[in-house]
Structure 1
Amino acid sequence: MNVRRVVPNLRTEDPEACGAFYARIGLSPAMELGWITTLTGTGGGASPVQLSLMTEDLTGPVVPDLSIEVDDVDAAYEELRAAGAELLFPVRDEEWGVRRFFVRDPDGRVVNILGHR
């Protein structure tokens, strides 16, 4: 299983103000779905620079602390389930083109594990 990217998710009540703040340091909207805006920057590495601003999670129980994109969501789910991890949201296909689930890490953070279909 390979990790493709890791994106911090910030809960916000005012995505426009937060977006304007981060625009001042070079981040710009790459995706806007109303409840989530993903900002990107140019960065200098192989992976894109990304940050998501979320007012809620449209179908999930909470706003996750971070999102990790993997190449095999089902393998990640089975690995974490078998290890006894606390699964908060079952594997499902979302209408915006991802397959995902939520899991809690050992420090209590909620992680959205996803892959693009």
Structure 2
Amino acid sequence: MSIRRAMPDFHSEAMGESRDFYGLLGFEEVMNHGWVMTLASPSNPTAQVTFMTHDATAPVVPDMSVEVDDVDAAYAAMRETGAEIVHPLQDEEWGVRRFFVRDPNGRVINVLGHP
């Protein structure tokens, strides 16, 4: 399994202000669904940061997102170790397959793939 990208996820009630602030560092908006917005570097598109007011289908805003090439294998590996699954593996209407898992530090990780 390989990692395609990893990015921090921040809870935010100031989406526009966040976009403007990080824009000063060179980030540009690449996705915005109203409740979730991702900014990326135009010169290095895997350098990203995501802001969420809430999560549309999960119980919490994750702390980090990790895109992998085989999300089903990642899910199976996490279940085999007994890791806490915070949000079950499912296909989302915005085109990702994902699950949330809690890491040993208590952080919630959004593990996703694009089918």
Determine the structure 1 residue equivalent to 2:72.
Answer: 74
SS at match of 2:61: coil
Q: CA deviation at 1:7?
A: 1.1
State how far apart, in whole Å, the 1-side matches of 2:84 and 2:46 are.
29
**Aligned residues: CA RMSD:** 1.1
- Whether contact under 8 Å (2:28, 2:42) holds in the other structure is no
Gaps of 5+ in 2: none
Residue 2 of structure 1 aligns with which residue?
2
Q: Residue in 1 aligned with 2:94?
A: 96
Distance in 1 of aligned mates of 2:79 and 2:14:
35
Whether contact under 8 Å (1:42, 1:48) holds in the other structure is no
Distance 1:90 1:49, change over 3 A: same
2:27 corresponds to: 27
Distance 2:40 2:3 in 1: 18
Once the two structures are TM-superposed, the CA of residue 82 in structure 1 deviates from its matched residue by 0.4
Match of 1:106 in 2: 104
Gaps of 5+ in 1: none
Amino acid at match of 1:66: M
What is the rounded CA distance, in whole Å, between the counterparts of 1:58 and 1:78 in structure 2?
Answer: 24
Give 1:70 deviation, angstroms. 0.5
Residue 78 of structure 1: how far off its partner (Å): 0.6
Matched pairs, number: 115
SS of structure 2 residue aligned to 1:81: helix
Output the TM-score relative to the length of structure 1. 0.94
- TM-score of the superposed pair, with normalisation by structure 2: 0.96
Separation (CA, whole Å) in 2 of partners of 1:67 and 1:48: 12
1:49 aligns with 2:55: no
Give the secondary-structure state (helix, strand or coil) at the position aligned to 2:34: coil
User: Take 1:95 and 1:76, find their aligned partners in 2: how far apart are those partners?
Assistant: 20
Aligned residue in 1 for 2:40? 40
